[in-house]
Amino acid sequence: MDIRIGIANSPREISFESSQTAAEVEQIVASALDKGASYFKLVDNKGLVYIVPVASFAYLEVGSESTRRVGFVA
């Protein structure tokens, strides 16, 4: 699934693909915001860990979980 994270006061965003479900990502972010944590961590398909500080967190966009098809459809 595609994930995009907006950072406050930054024109760029963090964008990556993750094997985590939308529910897992939502739970991680909501838990960090509710508990007053200083950061939350997400993992992409390649195993890279993204540590996002809650103070700089602006928004989260979670894309569809469908896989992309390659080739022609007859």
Total of domains in the chain: 1
Question: What's the CA gap between 58 and 14, in Å, rounded?
Answer: 11
pLDDT category at 66 given cuts 50, 70, 90 is low
- Segment 7-60, tens digit of pLDDT: 999 899 999 999 899 999 999 999 999 999 999 999 999 999 999 999 999 999
Which segments of 14-65 does DSSP mark as H helices, in order?
Answer: 22-35
Domain assignment present for 74: no
Tracing tokens 């979670």 back to the chain, one arrives at: 62
Domain range for 19: 2-62
User: Is residue 72 in a domain?
Assistant: no
